[in-house]
Each structure stands twice: as structure tokens, then as C-alpha cells.
């Protein structure tokens, strides 16, 4: 079976970059990315590539090469479904905010809407690919919706979770550690798996394309994120112990990372992990375990989130305590708002929670982030519902220049590890700050001894 026409529902952080790379590598396949968000589609179609809705290094070039050749962005979801022989579902699966499983389970309403729309529109056989991250056994529900249309159309469902990380999406898609494809273990299932393997095999070595049954594939995605987040919480837990014992968390990380069984990656102590995936996927895992009555399993994984929340609070508390237990009316500069460098994404960013806690103490926060807009910062704070929108606007301002953020501030806090922060004229920043001048490095990126020589009082996590 040779795929000629792909539709991807959801033009977000995953759908956009993933389809752009598939289109680039498969010029003979027509790829149409659709979304109900017209503004987002318009941005994907913008001639000015700096206006793409997602900032990812290298993405503009990939889009420029394939767009309007075999890569299209559209709001006509029905037409794209009808024309496609393979449909990726790449819509959001946020944590449920209502009803049963509120605050824990994944909200599958967008997935179900897609399945129902496919069932309604499809007139020819289709392979439906779960690209979104889903609870194990979701394919069962999708199958039951698709198989009850009564119009004779045949569907095969595959699970093909996405492992890209934001900020390195293009690089990760170009050279993935592995591509995972789960499908039914039947003749038709194997044919569908092979059709998707063929698409990836145009650029991914075959030994890096793993095929499994549906449930292993679905569960592997949640498991991978749980393991990754667990490493961050583990090193963050140790960071506090380092602070009270005189050990240095960076030295500990290097020492343990040299053990090939542990490995050096993902051991950077921080103000806490953010992003749209880790927390949501672990909460989902916890919920699934609980729903099977596996309470010890659920408690084990929940601890990763508890530790992460604690780390964010601990960082904010450190700022308050150090500034003589009173920050009311003080100006605190934030360098960074995004949840990590090289992205404009702020979902679950630690900066939001640290700012909220400091604003409860009546601090005035002034933020500089190279990619995040003032509107986004306000939306992030308003979403927490801690205070009125007017109060948020008054107590947190956004500036376009880092030196303006730091000028006259009592303290500078680094919330995101943007490379440019290391290159600033820290003497100038010091000269323009209130004294004593404090720096709280939540990402461990600044040169502590150089800054202390200038005169800063310096706090780094885990030292």
C-alpha cells in the first residue's frame, strides 16, 4: 500500500513541524495540515516566515521548501479528510478541567470529535494514526467509533507517538532516536504499519523504526515522559540536599552521569520542569494506574510532580527569604518566561508559578524573554485565577530589553536558560541595580564566580 495523500488534524507544536518534515522527505506525497483555528492556519501560510505560529530553530526553512509544493495548511478539515488515505490525529490532549478525573485524566474530547468527523466524512478506506499522546487503550475507543459508521469504509488504527522536544523539534525529527509504530497484529494491521514505515524509511534508518502492538506503543509514550521527568525531579530533590551539605549538584550530576548505566543527559538541576507534556502525561499515568486499582504505582509516579511543584515553590521562597523576608513593592527582574530555551511556548512554565508566588507577596515583576509576548504572559497569569486581570497587568510588566528589566531592580532571577543571558554586560546590570544586588540563577547558566567578583550576591540551585 503506497500512501499518496496525508491529512493531519491539528496544526500545533507537533502537527506543524512533523508534517513539514514528512512533506520535505516525501515530495511525492501530498500533505495537508488542517486546524479549526483559522488564525493559526493563516500564520502557517504567512509569506513572512518569521510569522509562523511556532518558533523552532530551522523550521522556517523546512516550511519554505515544501509549502505549496506538497505541504498545505488549510481550515477545510472535511475536504482534507475525504482526500486522504492516511490521517494523523495531532490535536491537543490536555489535562481534564472538569468532571470525573478532573486535574488528572487526559481530556479526550478533541480526539473523539476528530474520530467522529472522520467517521462522518470518510468515503474510502483510511489509515488513522494517533500522533497525539493518549492513554493506553484509546485506540479501542477510536476503533469503536470508526467501525460503527455502517457505510462499509474500512479503517486501520495505528499509534505513532511523537518524541520531539520543543526547541530542538526539527533536529529531533530529522534524526530521531527511534520512530515507534504500533498497530493491530493482523494481516491488515501489518499492512498499515508497513505503509507508515515506508514514509519514515525515506530518511530514518530501518533499525530505528520500531513496530509493536497498539497498547505497547501508546503506553511507551507516557512511560518515556515519566522516566525523563523523573530524572529531573530526582536531580532537583538532590539539589536541596546539596545546598545544605556543601555538595555541588553540578559536580554530583557529572559524577553520576559518567556511569554509562545512568548517562549524562537530563540531569540539569533547575527551577522545575515545565512544558505541555511532562506534568500532563504523568498525571494521566497516575490516573490510569489508579483506575486499575494500582495505588502504589500511582503514588510512585505522583511523587515526580509533587517534587517538581515543591522545587518551584522553594525557588520563590528562597528569593523572598533572601530579600529580608519582604518583597512588597520591590522590583524583581525575570530573565526568561518560556519553559525552556529556543521556544516561544510557555505552557506549564516554572516562571508562571514563581511569578505568581512573588506577586502574592506584592512584588513587582518585570520580565524580558526573547520570544514570549506580553499578552501571552498575562494570559498565563490570568489562567491561574489568583487575582484580577487588572492586578496582573499592574504587577507584571514586560519589556523588550533585558537591561530595562534589570535597571533599578532589587534582584534578577533567571527562569529560562536562553544562551543570550550569559553574554550580557553583567557589570552594567550591577551598576544599574539597587544594592545589595541579588541574582537567583534558576537554570545554573551564569558564571557564579565572575558575578560574585562584580559584587553580586549569588544564589544557584544546588550549590
**Interacting stretch for ligand UDX, rule CB under 6 A, among 32-40, 67-75, 140-148, 158-166?**
158-166
Cβ count near 353 (within 10 Å)? 22
249: left (phi over 0), alpha (psi -120 to 50) or beta: alpha
Strand ranges inside 204-350, DSSP E: 209-213, 331-335
DSSP 98: S
Task: Say what angle helices 350-360 and 374-384 make with each other, to 10 degrees.
Answer: 70
Q: Minimum distance from CB of 349 to ligand NAD (Å)? A: 13
Q: Which residues, numbered 168-227, are part of the site for ligand UDX (CB under 6 A)?
A: 225
Grid coordinates given for 260:
554509562
287 is in an annotated binding site: no
DSSP 208: G
| Closer residue to ligand NAD in complex, CB, 132/416 | 132
Q: Which residues, numbered 315-354, are part of the site for ligand UDX (CB under 6 A)?
A: 339-340
**Among ligand NAD, ligand UDX, none, residue 331 binds (CB under 5-8 Å by kind):** none
| Closer residue to ligand UDX in complex, CB, 127/414 | 414
| Beta strands at 364-368 and 331-335: parallel, antiparallel or unpaired | parallel
Residues in the chain: 463
Separation of alpha carbons 419 and 422, rounded Å: 6
145 is a contact residue toward ligand NAD (CB under 6 A): no
Count of residues near ligand NAD by CB under 6 A: 27
Binding mask 165-204 toward ligand NAD (x if CB under 6 A, else -) reads -x--------------------------------------
Grid coordinates given for 390:
487588572
Q: Minimum distance from CB of 428 to ligand UDX (Å)? A: 27
**Among ligand NAD, ligand UDX, none, residue 462 binds (CB under 5-8 Å by kind):** none
**CA atoms within 13 A of residue 56's CA, in its CB half-sphere:** 27
183 is in an annotated binding site: no
**Interacting stretch for ligand NAD, rule CB under 6 A, among 57-65, 108-116, 237-245, 368-376?**
108-116
Confirm if 236 and 270 have CB atoms less than 8 A apart: yes
Annotated active-site positions, please? 277
**With the CA atoms of 142, 145, 146 and 149 taken in that order, what torsion angle do they form, in degrees rounded to the nearest 10?**
180
Binding mask 2-41 toward ligand NAD (x if CB under 6 A, else -) reads -------xxxxxxx------------------xxxx--x-
Cβ count near 130 (within 10 Å)? 26
Separation of alpha carbons 168 and 55, rounded Å: 10
**Among ligand NAD, ligand UDX, none, residue 399 binds (CB under 5-8 Å by kind):** none
162 is a contact residue toward ligand UDX (CB under 6 A): yes
Phi and psi for 111 in degrees, rounded to 5?
-65, -45
Q: Which residues, numbered 247-276, are part of the site for ligand UDX (CB under 6 A)?
A: 266-268, 270, 273-275
Binding mask 34-53 toward ligand NAD (x if CB under 6 A, else -) reads xxxx--x-------------
Separation of alpha carbons 51 and 54, rounded Å: 8
Separation of alpha carbons 33 and 88, rounded Å: 9
Q: Which residues, numbered 112-131, are part of the site for ligand NAD (CB under 6 A)?
A: 113-114
10 is in an annotated binding site: yes
**Among ligand UDX, ligand NAD, none, residue 90 binds (CB under 5-8 Å by kind):** ligand NAD
- Nearest one of 286, 231, 274 to 103, comparing CA atoms: 286
Site for ligand NAD, rule CB under 6 A: 9-15, 34-37, 40, 77, 90-93, 110, 113-114, 132-133, 162, 164, 166, 276-277
Site for ligand UDX, rule CB under 6 A: 162-166, 225, 228, 232, 266-268, 270, 273-275, 277-278, 339-340
Amino acid at each position: 500500500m503506497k500512501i499518496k495523500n496525508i491529512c493531519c488534524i491539528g496544526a500545533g507544536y507537533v502537527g506543524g513541524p512533523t508534517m513539514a518534515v514528512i512533506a520535505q522527505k516525501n515530495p511525492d506525497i501530498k500533505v495537508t495540515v488542517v486546524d479549526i483555528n483559522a488564525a493559526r492556519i493563516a500564520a502557517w501560510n504567512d509569506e513572512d516566515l518569521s510569522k509562523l505560529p511556532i518558533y523552532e530553530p530551522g523550521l522556517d526553512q523546512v516550511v519554505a521548501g515544501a509549502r505549496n509544493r506538497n505541504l498545505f495548511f488549510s481550515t477545510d478539515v472535511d475536504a482534507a479528510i475525504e482526500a486522504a488515505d492516511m490521517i494523523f490525529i495531532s490535536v491537543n490532549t490536555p489535562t481534564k478541567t472538569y468532571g470525573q478525573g478532573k486535574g488528572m485524566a487526559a481530556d479526550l474530547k478533541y480526539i473523539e470529535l476528530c474520530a467522529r468527523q472522520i467517521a462522518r466524512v470518510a468515503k474510502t478506506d483510511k489509515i488513522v494514526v494517533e500522533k497525539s499522546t493518549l492513554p493506553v487503550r484509546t485506540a479501542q475507543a477510536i476503533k469503536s467509533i470508526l467501525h460503527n459508521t455502517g457505510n462499509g469504509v474500512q479503517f486501520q488504527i495505528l499509534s505513532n507517538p511523537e518524541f520531539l522536544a520543543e526547541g530542538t523539534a526539527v533536529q529531533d525529527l530529522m534524526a530521531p532516536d527511534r520512530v515507534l509504530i504500533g498497530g493491530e497484529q493482523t494481516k491488515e494491521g501489518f499492512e498499515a504499519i508497513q505503509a507508515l514505515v515506508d514514509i519514515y524509511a525515506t530518511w530514518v534508518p530501518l533499525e530505528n523504526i520500531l513496530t509493536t502492538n497498539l497498547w505497547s506503543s501508546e503506553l511507551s509514550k507516557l512511560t518515556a515522559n515519566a522516566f525523563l521527568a523523573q530524572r529531573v525531579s530526582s536531580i532537583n530533590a538532590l539539589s536541596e540536599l546539596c545546598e545544605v551539605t556543601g555538595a555541588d549538584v553540578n559536580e554530583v550530576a557529572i559524577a553520576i552521569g559518567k556511569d554509562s548505566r545512568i548517562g549524562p543527559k537530563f540531569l540539569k538541576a533547575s527551577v522545575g520542569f515545565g512544558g505541555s507534556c511532562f506534568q500532563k502525561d504523568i498525571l494521566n499515568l497516575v490516573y490510569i494506574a489508579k483506575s486499575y486499582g494500582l495505588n502504589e504505582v500511582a503514588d510512585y509516579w505522583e511523587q515526580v510532580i509533587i517534587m517538581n511543584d515543591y522545587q518551584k515553590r522553594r525557588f520563590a521562597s528562597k528569593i523572598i527569604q533572601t530579600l529580608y523576608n519582604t518583597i512588597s513593592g520591590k522590583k524583581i527582574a525575570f530573565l526568561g518566561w518560556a519553559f525552556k530555551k529556543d521556544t516561544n511556548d510557555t505552557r506549564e512554565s516554572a516562571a508562571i508559578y514563581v511569578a505568581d508566588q512573588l506577586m502574592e507577596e506584592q512584588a513587582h515583576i518585570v520580565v524580558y524573554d526573547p520570544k514570549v509576548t506580553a499578552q501571552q504572559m498575562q494570559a498565563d497569569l490570568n489562567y491561574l485565577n489568583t487575582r484580577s486581570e487588572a492586578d496582573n497587568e499592574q504587577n507584571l510588566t514586560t519589556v523588550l530589553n533585558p537591561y530595562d528589566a534589570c535597571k533599578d531592580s532589587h534582584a534578577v532571577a533567571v527562569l529560562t536558560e536562553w544562551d543570550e543571558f550569559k553574554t550580557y554586560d553583567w557589570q552594567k546590570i550591577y551598576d544599574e541595580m539597587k544594592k545589595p544586588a541579588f541574582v537567583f540563577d534558576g537554570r545554573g547558566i551564569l558564571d557564579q564566580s565572575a558575578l560574585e567578583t562584580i559584587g553580586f550576591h549569588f544564589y544557584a540551585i544546588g550549590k
